[in-house]
Structure 1
Amino acid sequence: MSADEVVVRAAVPQDDPERVFDLLWALAPGDERPDTTRLSAAWRDLHAQAGRELLLAVAGSTFVGTVDTVVVPNLTHGARPYMLVENVVVAPGWRRRGVARALLATAVDTATAAGCYKVQLVSSASRTEAHRFYADAGFSPSAVGYRRYLTTTA
């Protein structure tokens, strides 16, 4: 199946969160796999969150890519919202075939339709190949980002 046969669509509650997580695990294979109850609760919460949309690239019945987006209300820039992008993941066998580009293009189209003034994403400093891809896709390195990871006892 070629990348031309990949469809980008919004995830729906009826999609299997286990299959989506299997794809996301390619981004962070060291992640702890949540139990079914926790994963199902996160899936419900994702779909209930206003402005949130998980985009899936689907080839036949196989999930081959994701982009998680949220449109955030904002008080600056004329009170125009902005979009945050997270979890840009393409299955290893589908990389360099236009899947991520199609996912990001759909996210940008959604942001434009929502009146967003920017689309923002962050990428780990070590992922230089991904940075080249983002630049080729029209994103520019315009800020210094910081993270603070939190530990929980959940």
Structure 2
Amino acid sequence: MIREADRSDRDQLSELYRMLVPNSKKMNVLEEQIETIRKDPNNFLLVYEENGELLGSATLNICLQAMHGMRPYGVVENVIVHENHRNRLIGQKLLHYVEEYCKSIHAHKIMLLSNARRERAHQFFEREGYSGSVSKGFKKYL
């Protein structure tokens, strides 16, 4: 089942994120932040849960813009599937959920960023219809 994360998911989310960025010294998953995201109508911390265990997660941010009338766009980040449960369509289900939601609000597009070294993830995203050759992503960490 896909649902929005709540405060009680903090420990399992931390475990998933550690699989995404194992050497991060800045990671700090806070219950308060999970709750803030949950209450924000334009931000979603989604989790895929089976039998009380979080097996995947994705963050969706809805961004307003002026270029395409009233049509917003979505930004997807931190897509992760538990390493012991990959190849079970969990990531696909999360991305389909995101896409259906974005269609329901008439979003113009969905953007997704992925670490340049995660080539298997890139292949997965391309199979799901995301093009890695349309734009070039840039990040500046603060």
| Structure 2 unaligned regions, length at least 5 | none
Distance 2:35 2:4 in 1: 14
1:63 aligns with one of 45, 54, 57: 54
Residue in 2 that maps onto 1:134:
125
Distance 1:135 1:63 in 2: 24
Q: Does 1:77 align with 2:65?
A: no
Residue in 2 that maps onto 1:23:
16
Kindly indicate whether the alpha-carbon contact (under 8 Å) linking 2:73 and 2:102 is maintained by their aligned counterparts in 1.
Answer: yes
Superposed displacement of residue 14, structure 1: 4.5
Secondary structure of the equivalent of 1:79? coil
Distance 2:2 2:77 in 1: 16
Residue in 2 that maps onto 1:149:
141
| Structure 1 unaligned regions, length at least 5 | 1-6
Letter of the aligned partner of 1:10 in structure 2? Answer: E
Residue in 2 that maps onto 1:10:
4
Residue in 2 that maps onto 1:4:
none
Distance 1:89 1:55 in 2: 11
Percentage identity across aligned positions?
26
Distance 1:134 1:82 in 2: 18
Letter of the aligned partner of 1:65 in structure 2? Answer: G
Distance 1:15 1:106 in 2: 22
Aligned Cα RMSD in Å? Answer: 1.5
Letter of the aligned partner of 1:21 in structure 2? Answer: S
Distance 1:24 1:111 in 2: 24
Residue in 2 that maps onto 1:3:
none
Bigger Cα displacement from structure 2, 42-51 vs 56-65: 42-51
Bigger Cα displacement from structure 2, 55-64 vs 15-24: 15-24
Runs (4+) off by over 4 Å: none
Secondary structure of the equivalent of 1:22? helix
Letter of the aligned partner of 2:19 in structure 1? Answer: A
Secondary structure of the equivalent of 2:20? coil
Superposed displacement of residue 23, structure 1: 1.4
Determine which structure has more spread, i.e. the larger CA radius of gyration: 1
